[in-house]
């Protein structure tokens, strides 16, 4: 697990980390007013894209491959973000914030990578295997956006949290407040000097089984580990079908056929 530290931007390149921190802080102020985001990240991302006058669809449906967290691509002037809804909610949230960084680079830094090849986020990149510098940047951006310094300091005071001889349960409280994965929570505490490298390494060496056991005992962060049952979103498609129906723009037979086909697809996905 200590590869999490080795593959973090904070350890790898402190100068770039500082720049990313400034970008995430500025973004949070402009598009979220520094609120704690949690599962509102899906709306934050959609609002950001639409404010840049680009047609957008957020697709969320279950995929059997747990290694695929999310992907982003642009086709014919429309941006699509797909999130695997078969993952724990905290991972979906972090994956969406990660993809938001690539979108941010596309709009603010005119990075053409998203347009040319899109972005595919594998589970390992979030967990500990981010080897490309851009993925390290995206992970740092996501964590800072979801758990910003001001809110971290604020919530530390609110809950009277102590980081001396820190325990797994304290990390779980941070996870519960900000809806972020365990490793991201440990990194944020290190980045904001709440804990030192030795404490971070000790926390990262705790086995996942023990983390889950502590979660079950305390209930902390458990809500963000849930997998929303049968959660499926096909972007703007249902709305478009509704508009077509209201306008009588297609034959009743065609509309009924399209609705039936969409229903079949949703049933098929829910069986996965």
pLDDT digits (tens, 9 = 90+) for 185-210: 999 999 999 999 999 999 999 999 99
| pLDDT recorded at residue 232 | 75
- Size (the chain), residues: 272
Assign 3-state DSSP to the chain and report helix, strand, coil percentages, each to 5.
60, 10, 30
**Is 164 inside a domain boundary?**
yes
| Mean of pLDDT values over 113-122 | 92
| Mean of pLDDT values over 245-251 | 49
**Is 212 inside a domain boundary?**
yes
| Mean of pLDDT values over 110-116 | 91
CA distance 188 to 9: 12
Q: What is the mean pLDDT of the chain?
A: 88
DSSP calls for 224-252: GG---TT--EETTHHHHHHHHHHHT-S-H
pTM to 2 decimal places: 0.87
Indicate the number of domains in the chain.
1
CA distance 176 to 225: 10
Using one digit for the tens of pLDDT, what is the confidence trace for 31-68? 999 999 999 999 999 999 999 999 999 999 888 888 99
Using one digit for the tens of pLDDT, what is the confidence trace for 69-108? 999 999 999 999 999 999 999 999 999 999 999 999 999 9
Question: If you count DSSP H runs as helices and E runs as strands, how many of each does the chain have, helices first?
Answer: 15, 5
Lowest-confidence segment of 16-30, 161-175, 250-264 by average pLDDT: 250-264
pLDDT confidence of 247, banded at 50, 70, 90? very low
* Helices assigned H by DSSP within 51-181: 89-108, 113-117, 123-127, 133-146, 149-158, 168-178
Domain encompassing residue 138: 3-225
pLDDT confidence of 272, banded at 50, 70, 90? low
Using one digit for the tens of pLDDT, what is the confidence trace for 43-52? 999 999 999 9
**Is 234 inside a domain boundary?**
no
pLDDT confidence of 130, banded at 50, 70, 90? confident
First to last CA, the chain: 30
Residue 265 has pLDDT above 60, yes or no: no
**Is 76 inside a domain boundary?**
yes
| pLDDT recorded at residue 3 | 84
CA distance 69 to 66: 7
**Is 218 inside a domain boundary?**
yes
**Is 251 inside a domain boundary?**
no
CA distance 240 to 4: 43
| Mean of pLDDT values over 242-257 | 50
Query: For the chain, what is the radius of gyration of the CA atoms?
Result: 20
CA distance 78 to 109: 19
**Is 246 inside a domain boundary?**
no
In terms of pLDDT, which residue wins out, 265 or 216? 216
Residue 240 has pLDDT above 50, yes or no: no
Closest CA to 102 of 67, 58, 76, 141: 141
**Is 200 inside a domain boundary?**
yes
| pLDDT recorded at residue 61 | 85
pLDDT confidence of 269, banded at 50, 70, 90? very low
Query: 186: which residues sit within 8 A by CB, 6+ positions away?
Result: 4, 171, 195, 200, 203, 204
Tokens of 5: 């530290």
Cβ(70)–Cβ(83) below 8 Å: yes
pLDDT confidence of 244, banded at 50, 70, 90? very low
């Amino acid at each position: 697990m200590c590869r999490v530290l080795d593959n973090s931007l904070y350890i790898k390149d402190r100068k770039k980390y500082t720049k990313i921190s400034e970008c995430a802080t500025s973004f949070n102020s402009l598009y979220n007013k520094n609120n704690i985001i949690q599962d509102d990240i899906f709306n934050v991302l959609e609002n950001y894209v639409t404010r840049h006058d680009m047609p957008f669809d957020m697709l969320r449906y279950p995929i059997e491959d747990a290694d695929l967290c999310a992907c982003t691509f642009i086709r014919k002037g429309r941006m699509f973000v797909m999130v695997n809804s078969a993952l724990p909610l905290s991972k979906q949230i972090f994956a969406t914030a990660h993809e938001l960084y690539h979108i941010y680079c596309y709009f603010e830094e005119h990075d053409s990578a998203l347009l040319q090849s899109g972005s595919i986020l594998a589970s390992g990149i979030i967990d500990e295997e981010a080897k490309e510098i851009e993925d390290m940047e995206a992970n740092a951006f996501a964590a800072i956006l979801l758990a910003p310094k001001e809110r971290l300091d604020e919530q530390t005071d609110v809950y009277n949290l102590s980081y001396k001889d820190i325990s797994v349960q304290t990390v779980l409280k941070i996870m519960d407040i900000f809806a972020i994965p365990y490793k991201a929570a440990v990194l944020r505490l290190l980045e904001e000097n709440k804990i030192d490298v030795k404490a971070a390494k000790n926390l990262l060496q705790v086995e996942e089984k023990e983390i889950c056991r502590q979660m079950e005992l305390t209930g902390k962060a458990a809500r963000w580990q849930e997998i929303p049952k049968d959660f499926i979103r096909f972007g703007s498609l249902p709305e478009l079908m509704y508009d077509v129906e209201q306008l009588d723009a297609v034959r009743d037979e065609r509309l009924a056929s399209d609705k039936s086909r969409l229903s079949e697809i949703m049933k098929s996905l829910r069986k996965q």
